[in-house]
Chain A
Amino acid sequence: MGSRSFLSRLREGDEIARLITLIFAAMVVLITLLLVYELWVNSTLARHKFGLSFFVTRVWDPVTDEYGALPFIYGTLVTSAVALFLAVPLGIGASIFLAELAPPRISDTLQFFIDLLAAVPSVIYGLLGIFIVVPLMRTVIYPALNKPLGFLPIFKGPSYGVGFLTAGIVLAIMVIPYIISVSREVLLSVPRDQREAALALGSTRWESTWKVVVPFAKTGIMGSIFLALARALGETMAVTMVIGNTPTISASLFSPGDSIASVIANQFTEATGDLYLQSLIGLGLVLFLLTFVINGLARLLIIVTTEKGSKVSN
């Protein structure tokens, strides 16, 4: 291919197709870079004034023009952690049931409902949170956790219905469909001979599922978890309706708090004053950085575990 000049190669349909698809792929990278560039340039005032202390300041005061990202970073991380803690066991368990143990017709029907859940707009989840989860938290969940386990720092203090735990629960409901859909696909694509080999060696149904099929699909399942995490980190509307919107850092899960996406959505339109606006854009940059770092760690984790797996099999 390399022996002919570029222009003469261009006459072939293959080469044109390659070029066009290359341009499309390059555009995705370009858009990402443009996004980061815009965030960087439009948060200049904030970066110059606060520098790295932006990451560790707790105060968010539009009146004295003092801004710090720490409470929002904390809120984003805590709600996402709670969401994953609840969604991963449920999601993986459900996907194993749907892929391995359920009859095909039930599996397909349930998958249809799960796809519906994934398509529901986040505002609806927010309403679900306000009208169902918040009263539930106040009347059922809080007493059930606080009375026996109130000595633990994460379950201390009063509950107003809204807070980190409520937001985490709503986020968990939102990301479970992603985990189930992707994990189920991955599990279904595990070759039959893997399962049959395990069963032939005398393992039970459960042993073959848990010890052979799931590890084989590990990369895909971890990918689904990080997809869910990405959604949880960036979720705006559902979180802002149930998190309580107070920039607080507290060990208790019942405490109200705030997240990066939530505060940007709330305060951006009415933000007067350049430093205020640029600090909000700076928060957007912080969220981008957070997502970037976590995705990077995800990639690393997948590489490490895949290498480990391939080393073992050798």
Chain B
Amino acid sequence: MKRAALLLAAIVALGTAVWAQGLLINGAGATFPYPIYSKWFDVYHQKNSSIQFNYQSVGSGAGIKQVTEGTVDFGASDGPMNDAQLKEFQAKRGCEILHFPTVLGAVVPTYNVQGVTASLNFTPEALAGIYLGKITKWNDPAIAGANKGVSLPAQDIVVIHRSDGSGTTYIWTDYLSKVSDEWKSKVNRNTSVNWPVGLGGKGNEGVTGLVKQTPNAIGYVELIYAVQNKIPYGTVKNAAGSFIKADLASVTAAAAGAAKEMPADFRVSITNAPGKTAYPISSFTWLLIPSKIQDAAKRDAIKGFLKWMLTEGQSYNEALSYAKLPKEVVDKELHAISKVQ
């Protein structure tokens, strides 16, 4: 019995030694892009069997924290790091943190109004008013004006938001801050805010569940989630004045519209982007890479992956309902990879 146990232990030790010979690169962060990152890392490993990426979707906040502490080699976040966080990274790690947009996401308004099966149109003023608690009934002129021909009930609007901190909330509040001065001064943008009105649901599932169950409710969810779960959602009026329904094309158009004024560090918000076909509540999600990586093997592996992700990797996006990066942004990023040293 003892001999068998010793033999087993030896085999396990040898096995792990052999298995651990490849290069292992650890990352952590946003949950939103987890499916596509998972796919990419898997495909990349098949093409480069000695390189293994390990990604933990613990949330954008945790991702930023871990990459700042240095417990992981890279991070991922749905919201760009702010100036204070950049300074903290510089102080702790002695180099800069670089942002690389990977895919695009969007947030859509979903609702459950008695007697309404059509797709509702929402103006920015309507959405801001509803979430500020100023517009309280569905048949308010601000909503009815954009939906002629639809009979809206004179019922109270039940507002649903996220109870947990989330990149989705960041994108939604970022958009509202841009289109409403009152929202910006009262609430502003963050992954978690002090909501003036409404009930909170945990995760996209929580919000969807509450909206489905509560008559006359409105909520916001991630586009991919809405598409995959066949949830009805409305259109939103963009900066050019057209009512756009969110889909892969309109989200990519938003990024293309913003590409011209993209800052060099890619920390940009593309909500309310210019462009006739742009969907106004779109956003990048970023990989956070330190500008100096000591381990040469890790550095080359990460740079190689970034290059692959921006070229071949993007072809996997649409199958998982993620929008591709537009060509203008890809070109800028390929140049920026050289900043990683």
A272 within 8 A of B: yes
Distance of B320 from chain A, by nearest CB (Å):
23
Distance of B190 from chain A, by nearest CB (Å):
5
A63 within 8 A of B: yes
Contact A59 B194 (CB under 8 A): yes
Contact B165 A158 (CB under 8 A): no
Of B64, B165, B188, B193, the residue contacting A266 (CB under 8 A) is B165
A282 within 8 A of B: no
Contact B190 A62 (CB under 8 A): yes
Contact A162 B58 (CB under 8 A): no
Give a binary string over B47-82; 1 marks a CB under 8 Å from any A CB, 0 the rest.
000000000001111101100000000000000000
B156 within 8 A of A: yes
Contacting residues, chain A, for B194 (C-beta < 8 A)? 59-64
Contacting residues, chain B, for A160 (C-beta < 8 A)? 158, 199, 214
Of B61, B163, B198, the residue contacting A271 (CB under 8 A) is B61
* A223-280 interface with B by 8 A CB criterion: 240-241, 244-246, 256, 258, 262, 266-267, 269-272
Residue of B nearest to A59 (CB): B194
Distance of B340 from chain A, by nearest CB (Å):
24
**With A162-B199, A245-B199, A256-B199 as given contacts, are A240 and B59 in contact (CB-CB < 8 Å)?**
no
Q: Is chain A's interface secondary structure helix, strand, loop, or mixed overall?
A: loop
Contacting residues, chain A, for B189 (C-beta < 8 A)? 63
A287 within 8 A of B: no
Contact B192 A245 (CB under 8 A): no
* A58-88 interface with B by 8 A CB criterion: 59-64
Contacting residues, chain A, for B46 (C-beta < 8 A)? none
Residue of A nearest to B30 (CB): A270
**With A160-B158, A245-B201, A256-B199 as given contacts, are A270 and B192 in contact (CB-CB < 8 Å)?**
yes
Contact B198 A246 (CB under 8 A): yes
Distance of B218 from chain A, by nearest CB (Å):
13
Most buried by B among A62, A63, A158, A162: A63
B200 within 8 A of A: yes
Residue of A nearest to B59 (CB): A269
Contacting residues, chain B, for A61 (C-beta < 8 A)? 193-194
Distance of B245 from chain A, by nearest CB (Å):
28
Contacting residues, chain A, for B163 (C-beta < 8 A)? 240, 245, 258, 262, 266
B307 within 8 A of A: no
Give a binary string over A127-151; 1 marks a CB under 8 Å from any B CB, 0 the rest.
0001000110010000000000000
Distance of A22 from chain B, by nearest CB (Å):
33
Contact B191 A270 (CB under 8 A): yes
Give the complex CA separation of A158 and B210 in angstroms. Answer: 16
Of B65, B202, B214, the residue contacting A241 (CB under 8 A) is B202
Contact A269 B201 (CB under 8 A): no
Distance of A72 from chain B, by nearest CB (Å):
13
Distance of B30 from chain A, by nearest CB (Å):
10
Give the complex CA separation of A62 and B292 in angstroms. Answer: 32
Contacting residues, chain A, for B206 (C-beta < 8 A)? 241
**With A161-B214, A162-B199 as given contacts, are A270 and B60 in contact (CB-CB < 8 Å)?**
yes
**With A160-B199, A245-B200 as given contacts, are A63 and B193 in contact (CB-CB < 8 Å)?**
yes
Distance of B6 from chain A, by nearest CB (Å):
29
Of A60, A130, A138, A270, the residue contacting B62 (CB under 8 A) is A270
Residue of A nearest to B173 (CB): A63
B209 within 8 A of A: yes
Give the complex CA separation of A59 and B202 in angstroms. Answer: 20
**With A266-B164, A269-B58 as given contacts, are A63 and B214 in contact (CB-CB < 8 Å)?**
no
Give the complex CA separation of A130 and B188 in angstroms. Answer: 31
Residue of B nearest to A158 (CB): B156
Residue of A nearest to B191 (CB): A270
Distance of A283 from chain B, by nearest CB (Å):
14
Give the complex CA separation of A29 and B55 in angstroms. Answer: 38
Distance of A257 from chain B, by nearest CB (Å):
10
Contacting residues, chain B, for A240 (C-beta < 8 A)? 163, 202
Distance of B32 from chain A, by nearest CB (Å):
12
B294 within 8 A of A: no
Of A60, A64, A135, A267, the residue contacting B213 (CB under 8 A) is A135
Distance of A68 from chain B, by nearest CB (Å):
11
Contacting residues, chain A, for B166 (C-beta < 8 A)? 270
Of A60, A63, A130, A158, the residue contacting B209 (CB under 8 A) is A130
Distance of A267 from chain B, by nearest CB (Å):
5
Contact A270 B164 (CB under 8 A): yes
Of B187, B190, B210, the residue contacting A162 (CB under 8 A) is B210
Distance of B109 from chain A, by nearest CB (Å):
19
Contact A244 B158 (CB under 8 A): no
Give the complex CA separation of A161 and B191 in angstroms. Answer: 26
Give a binary string over B199-240; 1 marks a CB under 8 Å from any A CB, 0 the rest.
111100010011001100000000000000000000000000
Can you sample 6 A-B contacts with CB below 8 Å?
Answer: A62-B191, A63-B193, A162-B199, A266-B163, A269-B164, A270-B191
- Known A63-B190, A246-B198, A267-B164; 6 more pairs at CB < 8 Å: A62-B190, A135-B213, A160-B199, A245-B163, A270-B62, A270-B191
Q: Which chain A residues have a beta carbon within 8 Å of chain B's beta carbons?
A: 59-64, 130, 134-135, 138, 158, 160-162, 240-241, 244-246, 256, 258, 262, 266-267, 269-272
Q: Which chain B residues have a beta carbon within 8 Å of chain A's beta carbons?
A: 58-62, 64-65, 85, 156, 158, 163-166, 187-195, 198-202, 206, 209-210, 213-214
